[in-house]
Structure 1
Amino acid sequence: MQVTLAEELVLLSLDDRTGAPKEGVGTAWAAAGGLLAELVLAGRVEVADGRLGVVDRTPTGDPLLDGRLERLDEWIAGKRPGRAKAGDWLTKDRATVVRDTELRLCERGLVTEERHRVLGIFPVRHYPEADGSVERALRERLTAVVLDGDEPELRTAALIALLHSAKLHRLAFPDLPRKQVQPRFAEIAAGDWAGESVGEAIRNMQATMAAVIAATTAATTVAATVS
């Protein structure tokens, strides 16, 4: 079963038994970057100098990607020429990308949706594993590349670059210290494994995420100082 980079990231982020999310903020950024990278790989979108352009509106056949392509096309159309910045799109898309991806995983039968209420009031959705075959194959691929030193094919390299950029190493290798796997992640992320447009999509995700986190941290520090 061929799944998107975003679906792979979300699968790694969900607890298999409880379906509870792990590393939610980083996963959202990485998944948004993953969908954008997928559209670039599919030849539908280009990223150049931090700006986005739709170059082919033909559906890919994947509902998750095609929905994003339509949204992105509409969003770009509402911008003035040259103002469709990749960072702005990623910031917008991260708000809904995980939820949309979880629903797609449900449609594929890889997870099931369970609804709960916290304190009997607040609704919460969890997504425990229903079919673990895709995630097992994914983890075997990551182990072969990161721990055994195999050369990654394009999609695995892109996934590793996204995980590294969002500092999600523990999602892939929860039982290993980060310092043991980070050098190999960094090596692959820095490699010449994809066209410039795909690499730029991932670098934009990383830069935008870093900027938002820095701004949030600064605002929190100011608020704490004032109080």
Structure 2
Amino acid sequence: MSVTLGEEIMLLSLDDESGQAKDRWTAGWTVTGGLLLELVLAGRLGVDGGRLEVTNPSPTGVALLDGCLERLGAWARTTRSATVAAWLWKDQGKTVEATLASLRERGIVTEERHRVLGLFPVRRYPEADGAAERELRARLAAVVLEGAEPDERTGGLIALLHGARLHRLAFPDLPRGQVEARMAAIAEGQWAGDAFRDAIRATQAAVPAATAAAAVAAAAS
């Protein structure tokens, strides 16, 4: 399989040279939402009114997705609040770690470990092979800047980035005003089936809510 939606969002968030994540919290929630959308596209997951349902528990053959599917299935069986928002809160940390590990195993990024002040461990993920990110950015540019019609995966990615206000991750050298209207139009377009659009809307609503709640929690601590 090609790079997943979650991996694509992670690639956009990582600085190619330093390996540090930009918009770390929001990007993390959005990576988690990207894997949910990938499972919807794979026919393994459904979203109804913001609630998640595993519709087919069989493996996809992609380790990153199958790990997420297994965790999600076990969690959904034991909770009454199997919503997209609740899943983002529960699994964001594991999803981010698993996505970084997948990119590292593919040889797309490398891992560097440092200690700040000789005490605090820090991990960074500079780019090792830029082919996947170059293809991704070219695809985004073709749709957003040149007016090409998006396929479901590209449209879903753009909708997620727009909903999370991560425009600058996709187009760091352009003012947001230059791309925002086109990304909004794509997000509202008719390029996806109803099930996928329902999943996108639920994820678009959940990511900003999670980000705002995390900011409040951090300020109160």
| TM-score bucket (shorter structure) | over 0.9
1:112 aligns with 2:110: yes
Decide whether aligned partners of structure 1 residues 197 and 15 sit closer, same or farther in structure 2, where only a CA change above 3 A counts.
same
SS in 2 for 1:95: helix
Partner of 1:70: 70
SS in 1 for 2:165: coil
Count how many residue pairs are aligned between Structure 1 and Structure 2: 221
Decide whether aligned partners of structure 1 residues 63 and 130 sit closer, same or farther in structure 2, where only a CA change above 3 A counts.
same
Q: How does 1:91-170 map to 2 (within 5 A)?
A: 91-170=89-168
> Contact (CA 8 Å) 2:25, 2:211: kept in 1 or not?
no
SS in 1 for 2:93: coil
Q: CA deviation at 1:96?
A: 2.4
TM-score by length of 1: 0.91
> Contact (CA 8 Å) 2:108, 2:127: kept in 1 or not?
yes
- The amino acid of 1:21's aligned partner reads A
Decide whether aligned partners of structure 1 residues 5 and 79 sit closer, same or farther in structure 2, where only a CA change above 3 A counts.
same
TM-score by length of 2: 0.94
Partner of 2:177: 179
Structure number with greater Rg is 1
Aligned counterparts of 1:213 and 1:22: Cα–Cα separation in 2: 14
- The amino acid of 2:62's aligned partner reads D
Cα deviations across residues 105-136 of structure 1 (Å, max 9, x unaligned)?
Answer: 00000000000111111111101111100100
- The amino acid of 2:153's aligned partner reads R
SS in 2 for 1:96: helix
Q: CA deviation at 1:199?
A: 2.1
1:47 aligns with 2:12: no
Partner of 1:204: 202
List gaps (5 residues or longer) in structure 1: none
